[in-house]
Structure formats: C-alpha cells, structure tokens
Amino acid sequence: MKKILITGGAGFIGSHVVRRFVNTYPNYQIVNLDKLTYAGNLENLRDVEQSPNYKFVKGDIVDAEFINNLFTNENFDAVIHLAAESHVDRSIANPIEFVMTNVVGTVNLLNAARNSWKGAYNTKRFYHVSTDEVYGTLGEGTEMFTEQTAYDPHSPYSASKASSDHFVRAYHDTYGMDCVISNCSNNYGSFHFPEKLIPLSINNIKNNKPIPIYGKGENIRDWLWVEDHARAIDVIFHKAKTGSTYNIGGHNEWTNIDLIRTLCKVMDKKLGRPEGTSAQLITFVTDRAGHDLRYAIDATKLKNDLGWEPSLQFEEGLEKTVDWYLANEEWLNNVTSGNYQHYYEDQYQNR
Ligand SMILES: Cc1cn([C@H]2C[C@H](O)[C@@H](COP(=O)(O)OP(=O)(O)O[C@H]3O[C@H](C)C(=O)[C@H](O)[C@H]3O)O2)c(=O)[nH]c1=O
C-alpha cells in the first residue's frame, strides 16, 4: 500500500488526477490536500469521496508548520503537487498571492519532503505539475516549445510557476531528491472553473451575456482534454526517470476567436437556437497586459519515451464539455455563487 499526497486535488486538473488514481489504483491510499479556495471544490469529487482509499485534508501549503506536521504524521511515499493559483488575470491584479502559494507553498512541500524522507530519496518521488507558460511566447510560425526551450515567463503567474520549477530542480540537484516535472498546455473539460476562456464562454452564452475576447482574439493556445492530461500525469509519475521533465500538449492549436466561433456553433446546436445566435454575443474587449501570443507544445519526447498520446479529437471533446456543463447547471450556479464552499467546510472541518 503506497500513500500518495495529491495537493490541489479539489481543483480542476487536480480532481481529475485524484479520480484517476483513486479508481485505477485501489492499492494506493490517496490523500487530497486542498485549501478549498474559490476554485477548489469538493463537489468535483463527489463520486470518489466514499472510496476506502481516499481521504481529504483541508489545509494551506503556505503554512509550513502544518505541512511539516502532515508529512510527519502521514509518512507519504510520494507527492503529486498540483496546488496553485492558476489564473493569469488574477496574477496581474494580485501577484503576491501567486508568490505565496506557487513559490513559497512549493518550497514548503519540498522542505517537508526533504526532512521526512531522509535516507529514502530514491524510493519517494516528488512530482511537480507545471505549465507551458514558463517558456514565454512563440511567434505565429511552426516553432514549438520543447523540454530544451529556455524559460522566459512574462506574467506574474508564469513567473511564479517558473520559479517553483527551478526550486524543484534545485532540490533534485542539491539534495538528490527524486523529482520530476511536467509542463502542460491549456486544458479543457468538466469541472473547469468558469473564469477561464472555455467554461466562461459556455456560461455566458447560456445566460445570453457577452463573451469577452481580449484584443482581436488572435492569440493562439494549444488545447488538451483534461482527462488526457491526468493520464499523462499517471504515466509520467510511474515511468519517468528521476530528474526528468516532460512537455504535455494536444497538438491542437486554435486562435481564441476561431475557438469561440466553433464553440458558439456547438452551443447553438445544443440549445436549439438558430445558427449565428451565440456568435452575436462575441465582444472584443481590452487586451490582457503582457498577453503571450502563442503557446505550442512539442510532446514528442513523451510519446517516444513513455508512449503517451492525446486520445480525443478537439471537436468531440468540446461537444462532451458543453454537454457536461449543460447537464450540470447546479454545479455551475453553485461554484459561481460560492455556495459550495461553506457546505463542505462544515462537513469536513474535523475529518
Ligand atoms: C478569460 C479570458 C481569456 N481570454 C484569452 C486569454 C488567452 O489567450 C486565452 C485563454 O485564456 P485562459 O485565461 O483561459 O487561459 P491561459 O491564460 O491561456 O492560461 C491557462 O492555461 C495555462 C497553460 C495555464 O497554466 C493556466 O493556469 C491556465 O489558466 O483566452 C479571452 O480572450 N477572454 C477571456 O475572458
């Protein structure tokens, strides 16, 4: 029986990773540590919360004493670290929160692991889940980010993730800890908090509200279905060599405006509205400060070394995602109003 700490397991990507590990590995004990911020929600994990190999702990990775005690008491065999402040616009408005959670929080976890795992560094793994935004931005050509691309972050968010990546590598190089990192492109799918482009747009279209497109909508992102990301994390966690880095991506680039026009067509179809209705909601607004033009991931290393490839075509994934949001109106209403937070805080406070 392996005991694995998954941080940020109540968030969007984290909840998919927790679900995958709880269901796929009954011989693992999964401990989900989450602060339950506005974007973390135990409602995302209802289907696994009664599983005998799952436990939730509410806590903040910025609190070093709490983290050290948790490691001493639980004696984890591995960490998959996803807890992070993740929204670029929020990082522009409030950078310090990103420094605290993403940098200080990561170093607190590394320190706790370093202290409690002494003498067992080659059997206990620290896996940091990171982002392609650490590489900066690309032009509109064919160049892609590889694992060799130099770091060049531009937003406070990407600077904080780049910094935490560097700390993870430093703990591998300095203390010999077994660390691995993956850097993934934009994710989409169920349980995505509706502040990000796709779920925000679905929610706004549903409610006949404007769809805000930054600048001219020409920025390009590479989109990956979140369950494919969770599967990549599973493969990397189990098979990657110590000290290695893997890029994860969908080979699926879209300008924001093309993506939203496609989404509008899907929404018209699903809502039974005449084609062109949702697209009328598209509204061009002031651009994001320092907006990176293009992210594109070369995931060849992951395919060649570990055999991972995306499983889902984007059009199919987008339809699945829209279907999920339309079928889960209660979730959407409750996360946007903050209703779920208090309910679960009460229920879980003393567990
Ligand atoms: C919220 C919003 C966004 N946008 C644009 C800005 C971006 O060019 C694109 C996607 O934005 P979003 O905020 O959804 O995601 P990114 O800024 O690309 O970052 C996301 O993907 C990476 C990999 C992470 O690591 C981040 O944690 C994650 O948030 O749509 C708009 O045009 N309008 C909007 O209202």
Encode pLDDT of 41-92 as tens digits.
999 999 999 999 999 999 999 999 999 999 999 999 999 999 999 999 999 9
| The pLDDT value given to residue 341 | 62
pTM confidence score: 0.96
Q: Which of 34, 132, 178, 227 is catalytic?
A: 132
Among 12, 137, 197, name the best residue to mutate to test ligand 1's pocket (greatest count of ligand atoms within 8 A of Cβ).
Answer: 197
Amino acid of residue 277: T
For the chain, domain boundaries? 2-192+224-252+291-313+340-348
Question: What are the pLDDT digits (tens) for 87-132?
Answer: 999 999 999 999 999 999 999 999 999 999 998 888 899 999 999 9
Q: Which CATH architecture has domain 2-192+224-252+291-313+340-348?
A: 3-Layer(aba) Sandwich (3.40)
Nearest CA to ligand 1 atom 11: 197
How far is 193 from 66, CA to CA, in rounded Å?
A: 27
Dihedral over alpha carbons 336, 337, 343, 344 (to 10 degrees): 20
Contact assessment for residue 196 and residue 305, using Cβ atoms and an 8 Å cutoff: no
Of 24, 236, 45, the C-alpha closest to 130 is: 236
Q: Evaluate: CB of 212 within 6 angstroms of ligand 1.
A: yes
Give ipTM to 2 decimals.
Answer: 0.99
Q: Is the CB of 186 under 6 A from ligand 1?
A: yes
Structure tokens at 35: 């602060």
Give yes or no for residue 344 having a pLDDT over 80.
no
Active site residue 234: no
Q: Is the pLDDT of residue 342 over 80?
A: no
The mean pLDDT of the chain is: 95
Task: Kindly state if the Cβ of 247 falls inside 6 Å of ligand 1.
Answer: no
pLDDT single digits (tens) 258-301: 999 999 999 999 999 999 999 999 999 999 999 999 999 999 99
C-alpha of residue 88 to centroid of ligand 1, in Å: 7
Tell whether ligand 1 has an atom less than 6 A from the beta carbon of residue 172. no
Q: Give yes or no: 157 in active site.
A: yes
- In sequence order, the 6+-apart residues with CB closer than 8 A to the CB of 240 are 180, 246, 305, 306
Q: Is the CB of 86 under 6 A from ligand 1?
A: yes
